[in-house]
Chain A
Amino acid sequence: MSAPPLAATPGLARAYRPRRRRALRLARHGLLYAVLVAGALVMMIPFLWMVVTSLKTRAEVFGTSPLVFPTGLHFENYTNMWNAFPNDVTFGTFFANSLKLALLCTAGQLVTSSMAAYAFAVIPFRGRGPLFGILLATLIIPFQVVLVPNFILYRTLPHPFSESGNWIGTMEPLWVGAWLGGAFGTFLLRQFFLAIPQELADAARVDGANPWQIFTRIYMPLARPALATLAIFTFMWTWNDLLSPLIYLQDLDQYTTTVGLAFFQGQHVGKWPEMMAGALLSLLPMIVLFVVAQKYFVRGIALSGLKG
């Protein structure tokens, strides 16, 4: 406010203004920083609350204020949760199932999406544009819209080992589809493949390489960052999915961590410490993956957002 009169006396303004501005900027930064850190803490509260609750006894959870320190670290909540299931099933069973599905889906998406992405990015063929358009359109359609026909399809497919004789009640519906391409992965990898100079492929072609060799020896090695992003996203989506396993799985020994948790919640009302222990265990792989590979997460979201 007092700046204009000061500017009239040049010497004074020069001496005064920079310092004032720096102080102002420091104050503004400080305030911003405080707000951001406070917000970050608010964001972390559910996780902290999860950890704290998982180490308390049930009496402490209900009896005392949350700020009172627990009487000790009650790790038995974790073992209780782990062993809370009938018929030799433990929480470890759910873990193994989730891991198996996540790995199968990730592998399937990496292979089949990258193949489709290569065709769309590198090989000219008739109908390429419209076909890519159709694939992109499926990105917009909620997968819940096709749940009923998919369920009916899997119900008609014969299965040698299932009780029903079809795919319902088996884990197959949860991963086989991942081996049949995917709009997100194809889109992501196509963007990446388009940025690879065509001359590389041309040179290999002159040397007598066929498209499969060009794909596996030139494009795939170069696309490693994009493949990592797709792998992480597919892993995350499979690991976190609730609706599909809920629909297709029937036996406890096939449950994934999400269905297992929901099952536990239904069976043991009010056992918050054990529930938090289980929830935390089921989150750990994703949290570790995120901390290790944050770069790829951010890139994946940003990349898919660049060209909507």
Chain B
Amino acid sequence: MTALRRRAAPGPTPRRRGGGPVAAEARWAWLFLAPTLIGLAILSAGPILATFGISLTAWDLLTPPEWVSLENYAALVQDERFLVALRNTTFYTVVSVPLGMTLALGLALALNRGIRGIAWVRTAYFLPVVTSATAVGLVWAWIYAPSGGILNLLIGVLGLPPQKWVSDPFWAMPAIVMMSVWQGLGTSVIIFLAGLQAIPQEYYDAAAVDGAGRWARLRSVTLPLLTPSIFFTGILSLIGAFQVFDQVYVLARPGKPTEATVTLVYFIYENGFKNFKMGYAAAASWVLFLIVAVLTFVYFRSQRRWVHYQ
């Protein structure tokens, strides 16, 4: 006990030269990190392994978990609803990410000028970002409503027939994509604007001296120097897209009007917290994790080929 005390005491010890005050500070570091380390261990990093463990069991929370090896995964591959969820989530990602990023890029280029009064315009584009998908989901549900909804009225003016939108298997996912793009636009615009403002004016001056026109400057100065921002927005949007849930829950609870809107996270929610099939939900979660991890890895590897850091 005394020996332990002595070692922990920061006072003068023979080995002071090696660590001394630095070692004492390092002990402080662990104190500062204690909450974070507990959080990592029991709430975020640790549970990823736990998810895999649970995914190898059948567990309804009432009876003890039963080891089933990879059966849950075998069942997932056969589960029509899971495959639909996978397809819907992929569709959502493949459409919403490029669409949102292209719109945001154009918008950021347009907003990045000293036009008077532009701050107010900018606010309008940012506002949806801070609102909850639940509340704005309700208004979008109303916009898409088959009777009385404003979208059907609008397309009626153009002479198009009314649609059932979120209750229509074909239009349900596009409708959800549209709302999400509307809501997420501001985030990407802000990141692009920050990236644009970080490009030094000298590059444009040099390009102008070389006789580069507006288009050439965009292609050979702006876009290459914006690739770090594009890269970052891409990863944010990609990860976000695979987590889509709120919009689906509020706009078109799958199974109510149509099966066409079940997504991966909805599938996890449904199996884990409505049907209490913990093992099955964990297996689906692990699939979600693998997809995101692999995509992120590939995306980061691709960075070398197209992202230019200044």
Contact = CB atoms under 8 A, between A and B. Distances in A.
Interface of A: 29, 32-33, 35-37, 39-41, 43-47, 49-50, 53, 61-62, 65-66, 111-113, 115-116, 118-119, 123-126, 128, 131, 134-135, 137-138, 140-153, 155, 177, 179-183, 186, 210-212, 215, 236, 239-240, 242-243, 246-247, 257-258, 261-262, 265, 272, 275-276, 278-280, 282-283, 286-287, 289-291, 294, 297-298, 301-302, 305-306, 308
Nearest to A300: B190
A258 B32 contact: no
Nearest to B286: A145
A125 B25 CA distance: 8
Given A144-B268, A145-B288, A297-B126, A116 B132 contact: no
Given A33-B115, A36-B121, A147-B268, A276 B147 contact: no
A243 B269 contact: yes
B124 interface: yes
B131 A286 contact: yes
Which 3 residue pairs across A and B have the least CB separation, nearest first? A180-B39, A181-B36, A302-B194
Contacts of B228: 308
B243 A144 contact: yes
B136 A149 contact: no
A267 B140 CA distance: 18
Given A124-B22, A246-B273, 15 more contacts: A39-B107, A125-B29, A141-B44, A147-B285, A148-B282, A149-B50, A150-B43, A177-B43, A181-B40, A257-B132, A262-B249, A280-B135, A290-B130, A297-B190, A302-B190
Tell me the dominant secondary structure on chain B's binding face.
Answer: helix
Nearest to A134: B45
Interface in B31-53: 32-33, 35-40, 42-48, 50-51
A235 to B, nearest CB: 10
21 contacts: A40-B120, A44-B124, A62-B148, A119-B28, A123-B25, A124-B22, A140-B292, A141-B293, A142-B242, A149-B46, A152-B50, A153-B42, A179-B35, A181-B36, A239-B132, A242-B250, A265-B138, A265-B141, A283-B131, A294-B126, A301-B191
Contact of B36 (A135, A153, A240, A282): A135
B142 A138 contact: no
A298 B132 contact: no
B26 A290 contact: no
Nearest to A54: B139
A148 B115 contact: no
A45 B130 CA distance: 16
B272 A148 contact: yes
B127 A243 contact: no
A172 B82 CA distance: 31
